[in-house]
Chains A and B, each alone.
Chain A
Amino acid sequence: MGVEIAIAAGKVVFLLLVLVLQVVAMGVFFERKVSAVIQDRVGANRASIFGFAGLGVVNTLIADPVKFLLKEDIVPAGVDRRLHFWAPIMGLIPALVAFAVIPFGDVVEIAGRTIELQVAKLDVGVLFVLAMASLGVYGVVLGGWASNSRWSLLGGIRGSAQMISYEIAMGLALVSVVLTYGNLDLQEMVRQQGALVWGWLPAWGIFYQPIGMIVLLVAGIAESKRIPFDLPESESELVSGYFTEYSGAKHLMFMMADFVEIVLIAALVTTFFLGGWQVPGLGRTGFDFPGGTHVALPSIAIALLQITAFGVKLVVMTLFQIIVRWTLPRFRYDQLMALGWKGLLPLALANVMLTAAFVLWLGGAGA
């Protein structure tokens, strides 16, 4: 019993501290440097530690949180103090908890134990992810309401309407994914993507569900409330929307929740469509090269390779979302709603029908 708890705790620590939060930090790095490259400027390079400017931006990454944490935490007059305190927490926690069902590797054998590289093996993993994603909206709504400010309130209202609208498209995209794999468990989905089609093409979801991937990615970016979908904050009209009245560490938590959501979307796209931790050709015992050559590898090396593959895919999808953020201008609110309800929703519905027809035609779930 004690060992099992220790293993579970170890998995949580590894997933959050070693994998997710590192990718979040990399996301902030990309945010600084990629935006600079896109806008043809140098980007952050001023912060120095003991006269050492380093890569500039690396020091900025240290200086930024320190600045946030040491700032005075101003609570404006007239706010609902209790909800003002809890809102950033309620925004961040569900996004972090959702990672519990994301598999970051196959299995690893240590000292005779077979350890599944997934924090919680749930039969209904997809539903768990959707549930946690749908709870993230409370941070926005309550932050907006508790701040006792018109801008914040408008931001909160916009946020709630936007997130509910895009959740529907997201859910339908996941329905087509579930139809394809015939399973709700994320680990099983990734295992199914290990096969090869025609002997060379990895059986990744992107080849079975290209429309599902587009819908999930767009809806996911909308859920993370960033440009081009950042109507809840839209600084040109609402100052900074739902977190206008926040400062210091609480502001940092709202920002972090945004970045954790970006990484979560990247993790979901990776798991459903890019083969998760799969490396083409890498099986439980080692590499199988085309042509029948087999190179045996120890279990721990395979696990490390898989975790690395998962991490690389995660970083690539995070980078993609940041490039989108610095490329597109913000939508108008009616355009946002039109895209969600008249664009993504019918597309996702049609995709579900098409997928269902295919599954029926091929006889049984699991493509």
Chain B
Amino acid sequence: MSALLFLAVAALTIASALVVILHKSPVYSALGLVGTLALIAMLFLGLDAQIVGFLQIIVYAGAIVVLFLFVIMLLNLQEEPEAFAPSALVAFGLAGGIGLAAIVAIGLARAPLPTGPLRDRFGTTELLAERLFTTYLLPFELTSILLLVAIIGAVVLGKKKLP
């Protein structure tokens, strides 16, 4: 991905992320989230990580945000009189964001990311699956158990009889 394209996509990503938190209408916020996720997927594509990029679109843009919209429309949320921004929360968020950026910067300064040509088969489905089911088998299976617990929790909550 050329640097110019990266900069354009990155700027758009930040812009649509700002829409998520600054827009008064919940539907537009959700749409901003779709835009952000789709643009991040584009960044993944630029990094030769095709499978991650498309999974991002399928799972987040195609399913999770649709559920957000479903809930927004079901509850018929109206436009807020002003953007959600209590000053204490804004200060807290800003501090957290700057802190995170600082940690990432320090980490990168200490251990720079390796550069050089991509390894053979980088980003292919085969390599990803191979790694998932060999090197990272335990975390992978633990994640699936976590998801299973969440599903069972949702079923239990959904089945609960109201008094």
Does A8 reach chain B (CB closer than 8 Å)? no
Instruction: Annotate B24-51 by CB proximity to A: 1 below 8 A, 0 otherwise.
Output: 0001000100100000000000000011
Does B18 reach chain A (CB closer than 8 Å)? no
Inter-subunit contact A157/B55 (CB<8 Å) = no
Q: Which of B4-12, B63-71, B91-99 has 4 or more CB atoms under 8 Å from chain A?
A: B63-71
Residues of A within 8 A of B34 (CB): 138
Inter-subunit contact B50/A122 (CB<8 Å) = yes
Kindly state the interface size class of chain A when it binds its partner.
20 to 34
Does A212 reach chain B (CB closer than 8 Å)? no
Inter-subunit contact B58/A134 (CB<8 Å) = yes
Inter-subunit contact A128/B54 (CB<8 Å) = yes
Inter-subunit contact A141/B124 (CB<8 Å) = no
Residues of B within 8 A of A122 (CB): 50
Residues of B within 8 A of A163 (CB): 66
Selected from A135, A141, A142, A160, the residue in CB contact (under 8 A) with B57 is A135
Inter-subunit contact A156/B124 (CB<8 Å) = no
Selected from A137, A157, A167, the residue in CB contact (under 8 A) with B74 is A157
Does B125 reach chain A (CB closer than 8 Å)? yes
How far apart are the CA atoms of A156 and B124 in the complex, in Å? 37
Inter-subunit contact A127/B51 (CB<8 Å) = yes
Does B20 reach chain A (CB closer than 8 Å)? no
Q: Which residues of B contact A (CB under 8 A)?
A: 27, 31, 34, 50-51, 54-55, 57-58, 61-63, 66-67, 69-70, 73-74, 76, 124-125
Inter-subunit contact A135/B51 (CB<8 Å) = no
Chosen A-B contacts, 25 in total, with CB atoms closer than 8 Å, are: A80-B27, A122-B50, A123-B50, A123-B124, A127-B55, A127-B58, A130-B62, A131-B54, A131-B57, A131-B61, A133-B62, A134-B57, A134-B61, A134-B63, A135-B61, A135-B62, A137-B66, A141-B73, A144-B73, A145-B27, A153-B73, A160-B70, A164-B66, A164-B67, A184-B125
Q: Which residues of A contact B (CB under 8 A)?
A: 80, 83, 122-124, 127-128, 130-131, 133-135, 137-138, 141-142, 144-145, 153, 156-157, 160-161, 163-164, 167, 171, 184
Inter-subunit contact A137/B62 (CB<8 Å) = yes
Given A141-B69, A157-B73, are A124 and B51 neighbors across the interface (CB < 8 Å)?
yes
Residues of A within 8 A of B125 (CB): 123-124, 184
Residues of B within 8 A of A145 (CB): 27, 69, 73
Residues of A within 8 A of B50 (CB): 122-124, 127
Residues of B within 8 A of A141 (CB): 66, 69-70, 73
Selected from B62, B74, B124, the residue in CB contact (under 8 A) with A134 is B62
Inter-subunit contact B73/A127 (CB<8 Å) = no
Given A141-B73, A144-B73, A145-B73, are A160 and B66 neighbors across the interface (CB < 8 Å)?
yes
Inter-subunit contact A160/B69 (CB<8 Å) = yes
Inter-subunit contact B63/A124 (CB<8 Å) = no
Inter-subunit contact A131/B62 (CB<8 Å) = yes
How far apart are the CA atoms of A131 and B124 in the complex, in Å? 17
How far apart are the CA atoms of A134 and B55 in the complex, in Å? 11
Residues of B within 8 A of A133 (CB): 62
How far apart are the CA atoms of A200 and B105 in the complex, in Å? 64
How far apart are the CA atoms of A365 and B99 in the complex, in Å? 48
Residues of B within 8 A of A167 (CB): 62-63
Residues of B within 8 A of A128 (CB): 54
Given A138-B34, A153-B73, A184-B125, are A164 and B63 neighbors across the interface (CB < 8 Å)?
yes
Residues of B within 8 A of A134 (CB): 57-58, 61-63, 66
Residues of A within 8 A of B73 (CB): 141, 144-145, 153, 156-157, 160
How far apart are the CA atoms of A133 and B31 in the complex, in Å? 17
